[in-house]
């Protein structure tokens, strides 16, 4: 099963990632150093995160999963540094 998941950290920020193998304990490749900046040493000693599967498919190709991941990153705005830890796809502020 191919999945896209949302990780929620104790500060409410999120990370959207994909797993092409459906591995239970895979939590993505968000930058540890980036996340650690938002927490004190004491907070890091007792740290819980939540992983939610927000999309799944048994039949999607890897490229279809990649496109869906980018769509969900943009939908959740997890690439906005105020909201999440994704640093790709590049967050752009739209001025109207």
Domain boundaries, the chain: 2-76
- pLDDT tier, 95 (very low <50, low <70, confident <90, very high otherwise): low
Contact 63, 52 (CB under 8 A): no
Burial of 63-90, coded b for 16+ CB within 10 Å and e otherwise, reads eebeebbbebbbebebbbeeebbbeeee
pLDDT digits (tens, 9 = 90+) for 6-61: 999 999 999 999 999 988 888 988 999 999 999 999 999 999 999 999 999 999 99
Q: What is the pTM of this model?
A: 0.90
Helix, strand or coil for residue 52? Answer: strand
Contact 28, 85 (CB under 8 A): no
Helices (H), 40-88: 41-44, 62-76
């Amino acid at each position: 099963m191919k999945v896209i998941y949302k990780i929620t950290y104790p500060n409410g920020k999120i990370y959207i990632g994909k797993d092409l193998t459906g591995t239970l304990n895979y939590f993505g490749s968000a930058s540890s150093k980036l996340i650690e900046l938002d927490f004190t040493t004491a907070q890091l000693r007792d740290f819980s995160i939540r992983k939610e599967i927000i999309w799944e498919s048994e039949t999607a190709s890897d490229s279809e999963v990649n496109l869906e991941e980018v769509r969900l990153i943009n939908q959740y705005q997890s690439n906005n540094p105020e909201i999440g830890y994704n640093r790709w796809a590049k967050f752009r502020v739209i001025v109207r």
